[in-house]
């Protein structure tokens, strides 16, 4: 177990990077705490795999250092870094039994069979694999294979961090729930540092203590799932997290009042903005409400479609050429006549050039 310090780290796949665009991973300087669960979240090509490969030792960064518990490991190859990894597609030793698979890393490290036996039994019990120990790994289902890959990391006492590279890709939805929950329970029990790379927000948010949202090589925000949901620092985070993502509308600002094409909206506080900033208002679909009766600050919208997805409904509305999504709880009525939209002022955020505006010190 270890704390991971990414010191002034950046990477470019080009030999002589000049511009920021040349970098697949822009400079970061961060400490990831020992025993916590982190998720790297972003769409493909955002740099999350580059970062994972730097941590695992597959890639040497073009700039900066990686430190595990203060020890520099930047130049060390994977096998000397004391990490474990679970890959996108299950990697098991087909010809071995489940027991031998789990014992493999310990046998390679020349541990005695008796201690291997107790350790494997312990881990198999945790992963609910005890019944399968004598079976050949080849015949097992994808989720059992993924548990074996994880188990090979868990049997070792010396592992600094366990890395997960989209581990649930090939798992069926109903088993995803079970496996993810078991993973989470294991983390709470073992307190190992875990790093989980994914493009799936549900996986990232439910698994991690801290989610690292990446976009175009930048780390855009690091925070708890709740922070990312309630206070997205960038419109990208707002869009990327949440289904559907945050509604973003261009506004103009005057003290504590925002103007949406002339319609005024009262805000809870005043914001400071620079002239020339591109100002936008962000509000999550969950914090909007449709009503058949107009109110003081309601927007008049046209409901284009109402999608009932079982546990809630999503209304797709049009407000002066812009699409606004509204989430309506299962037990609330809605129809196309509900054309007055109110935004909960406590959950309105203002963004200048994409970044969240800080509120003015209480005026």
Q: Is 96 or 256 the residue whose CB approaches another protein more closely?
A: 96
Q: Does 177 bind another protein (CB under 8 A)?
A: yes
User: Which of these segments, 2-10, 22-30, 178-186, 354-362, binds another protein (CB under 8 A)?
Assistant: 178-186
One of 74, 87, 222, 277 touching another protein (CB under 8 A):
87
**151 is a site residue for another protein (CB under 8 A):** no
Q: Does 29 bind another protein (CB under 8 A)?
A: no
Query: Order of strands, edge to edge, in the sheet holding 340-343?
Result: 288-291, 340-343, 299-300
Strand arrangement of the beta sheet that strand 349-352 belongs to: 247-250, 279-283, 349-352, 355-356
CA torsion, ordered 214, 219, 225, 226, to nearest 10 deg: -130
Asked whether position 96 contacts another protein by CB under 8 A, the answer is yes
Q: Find out whether 86 and 144 touch, Cβ atoms under 8 Å.
A: no
Shorter beta-carbon distance to another protein: residue 172 or 360: 172
Q: Is 45 in the site for another protein (CB under 8 A)?
A: yes
Residue 194 in contact with another protein, rule: CB under 8 A: no
The residue (of 129 and 228) whose beta carbon lies closer to another protein is 228
Q: Which residues, numbered 106-135, are part of the site for another protein (CB under 8 A)?
A: 108-109
Q: How many C-alpha atoms does 124 have within 13 Å on its Cβ side?
A: 20
What is the C-alpha to C-alpha distance for residues 219 and 223, in angstroms, rounded to an integer? 11
Stretch that binds another protein, among 63-71, 89-97, 124-132, 289-297 (CB under 8 A): 89-97
Give whichever of 146 and 271 is closer to another protein, judged by the CB atom. 146
Contacting another protein (CB under 8 A), which of 196, 218, 229, 271?
A: 229
Among 122, 95, 94, 93, which Cα is nearest to 105's? 93
Task: Tell me whether residue 228 or residue 260 sits nearer to another protein (CB atom).
Answer: 228
Of 23 and 229, which CB lies nearer to another protein in the complex structure?
229
CA distance 238 to 204: 15
User: What is the torsion angle, in degrees rounded to the nearest 10, for the CA atoms of residue 5, residue 79, residue 206 and residue 323?
Assistant: 80
CB 288 within 8 A of CB 326: yes
Closest CA to 102 of 59, 140, 45: 140
Instruction: State yes or no: cis peptide before 60, omega within 30 of 0.
Output: no
Q: Around Cβ 162, how many Cβ atoms within 10 Å?
A: 24
Stretch near another protein under the rule CB under 8 A, chosen from 9-17, 61-69, 234-242, 338-346: 234-242
**Does the footprint of another protein cover residue 210 (CB under 8 A)?**
no
In whole angstroms, the minimum distance from the beta carbon of 162 to another protein comes to: 10
Cβ-count burial of 333 within 10 angstroms (0-12 exposed, 13-18 middle, 19+ buried)? exposed
Residue 35 token pair: 């025993």
85 part of the interface to another protein, by CB under 8 A = yes
Least Å distance, CB 173 to another protein, is 5
Binding flag, residue 60, another protein (CB under 8 A): no
Phi, psi for 221 (deg, rounded to 5): -160, 145
The residues of the shown chain that bind another protein, judged by CB under 8 A, are: 43-45, 56, 58, 77-79, 83-85, 87-89, 91, 93-96, 104-105, 108-109, 138, 149, 152-153, 172-174, 177-178, 180-181, 184-185, 188, 199-202, 205-207, 224-226, 228-230, 239-245, 284, 286, 307-311, 329-331
């Amino acid at each position: 177990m270890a704390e991971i310090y990414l010191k002034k780290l950046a990477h470019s796949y080009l030999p002589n990077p000049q511009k920021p665009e040349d970098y697949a991973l822009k400079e970061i300087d961060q400490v990831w705490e020992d025993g916590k669960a982190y998720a790297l979240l972003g769409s493909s090509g955002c740099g999350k795999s580059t970062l994972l490969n730097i941590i695992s030792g597959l890639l040497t960064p073009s700039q900066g250092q990686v430190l595990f518990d203060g020890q520099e490991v930047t130049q060390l190859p994977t096998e000397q870094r004391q990490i474990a990894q679970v890959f996108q597609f299950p990697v098991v030793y087909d010809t071995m039994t489940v027991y031998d698979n789990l014992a493999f890393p310990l046998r390679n490290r020349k541990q005695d069979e008796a201690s291997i036996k107790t350790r494997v039994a312990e881990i198999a019990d945790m992963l609910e694999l005890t019944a399968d120990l004598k079976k050949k790994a080849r015949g097992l289902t994808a989720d059992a294979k993924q548990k074996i890959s994880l188990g090979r990391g868990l049997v070792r006492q010396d592992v600094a961090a366990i890395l997960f590279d989209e581990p649930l890709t090939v798992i069926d939805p109903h088993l995803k729930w079970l496996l993810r929950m078991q993973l989470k329970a294991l983390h709470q029990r073992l307190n190992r540092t875990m790093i989980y790379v994914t493009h799936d927000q549900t996986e990232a948010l439910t698994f991690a203590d801290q989610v690292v949202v990446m976009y175009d090589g930048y780390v855009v925000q690091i925070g708890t799932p709740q922070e990312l949901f309630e206070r997205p620092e960038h419109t990208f985070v707002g869009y990327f997290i949440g289904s559907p993502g945050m509604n973003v509308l261009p506004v103009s600002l005057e003290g504590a009042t925002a103007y949406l094409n002339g319609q005024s909206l009262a805000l809870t506080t005043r914001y400071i903005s620079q002239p020339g900033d591109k100002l936008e208002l962000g509000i999550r679909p969950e914090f909007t409400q449709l009503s058949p009766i107009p109110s003081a600050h309601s927007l008049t919208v046209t409901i284009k479609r109402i999608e009932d997805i079982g546990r809630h409904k999503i209304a797709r509305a049009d407000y002066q050429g812009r699409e606004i999504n509204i989430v309506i709880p299962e037990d609330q009525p809605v129809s196309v006549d509900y054309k007055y939209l109110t935004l909960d002022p406590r959950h309105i955020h203002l963004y200048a050039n994409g970044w969240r505006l800080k509120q003015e010190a209480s005026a």
